[in-house]
Structure 1
Amino acid sequence: MNENFVCIKVDREERPDIDKVYMTFVQATSGGGGWPMSVWLSPDLKPFVGGTYFPPEDSFSRVGFKTVLKNLAEQWKRNRSELTERSNKILTALQKGVAMDATKEAVPPPCPEVMERCFQQLAHSYEDEYGGFRESPKFPSPVNFNFLFRFWALNKTGEKGAQALQMALHTLKMMALGGIYDHVGQGFHRYSTDGRWHVPHFEKMLYDQGQLAVSYTEAYQ
């Protein structure tokens, strides 16, 4: 790796802003995303190739990481101009896609309207029996709880406010009772592989623990 590349490791928990930039590139060029993520940049820091997990060696269905490195080094030596041109076209398209039109017609909707839309989306995807907002796999998604508690705080006397509170509290309760919660070592696993919060994906993320601590504290209050 050091022979042909300048290797830089970025901690996505410490720099989610950097992660977001390159994840957008990977999703746009490969049709999917995930971690671990590898992105190759030109000397002027423009990405030209990216992907998620590569196995160490070639397998029946996937190219190994060593092969990817060798191929990219060879392509960079032979077709550098083609790679940089491709990179520029992709970046231009992405920038157009995320650019905001500052005209009067493109004024963002008012906050109450945005909150109502968010509530309707969560209510539509909510699963009544075990809680959560998809069938499987189920992720804790603390940001959903934070939103629902705030929506309830603004609509305490309304039916929708009560529904928002119920969705948040029931989901948190079922998570705490299920296998996604480590009843021996404490803490929550990354997600549940089934719809009942029963079978966890055995991985714990620090940012999940911190955000869920806030969610459960707000639920207790």
Structure 2
Amino acid sequence: MRILLIEDEPGIARFLKQGLEEEAYTVDVADTGPAGLAQAQAQAYDLLLVDWMLPGLTGLEICRQLRAAQHAEPLIFLTAKDTVQDTIGGLQAGANDYIKKPFHFDELLERIKVQLRPLPASTEQFTVGPIRLDVATHQVFRGEEEVPLTQKEFALLEYLLRHKGKVCRRQSIIENVWDIHFEYNTGVIDVYMNALRKKLRLNKDEDYLQTIRGIGYVARD
């Protein structure tokens, strides 16, 4: 597995590169925003670790440009920022996860493993209203039109459709979709639900992904 680490602090970069290589990952390092973006565009990586604050180009802008160019590899932010607004901004830009500095290497390692975990083979399909999700091909359609989703958006929609008609509690969604089993701000779910509804073009007359206030969400025909 090849990882691109975009980090401008030499000490942190050396520590992470050594630790990841000891875990059998191949690690390339870029120390500026423009260099990291160019490297990510030029070569295929299994995962990107991106510092938020970088010289020349922020990690947030790197993420936005890669997602706009249809790069779908998992991206984890390494950030000293800790406000909900910053977290939401990063996830809206297309990041898969983030970890706050300072962090334990073991926690970062587990988050990497979650993102690189292979999807099980399946021929299952799930529907709600005009929406169809194909697990095997990792595609979502509204009618005959394919709707491109990020990996996390797809996982969230799949979880709701697998439990269609049942209320999915917020903590259950965080544990099963984000694989986070500790106290965590579940507001991130709202960000992804809003993105899903917009991409699927769901309006008030097509309330197939319903909010159960104070509890969670439910997919209903």
Which has a greater percent of strand?
Answer: 2
The TM-score bracket by the shorter chain reads under 0.3
- TM-score (normalised: structure 2): 0.25
Which has a greater percent of helix?
Answer: 1
Structure of larger gyration radius = 1
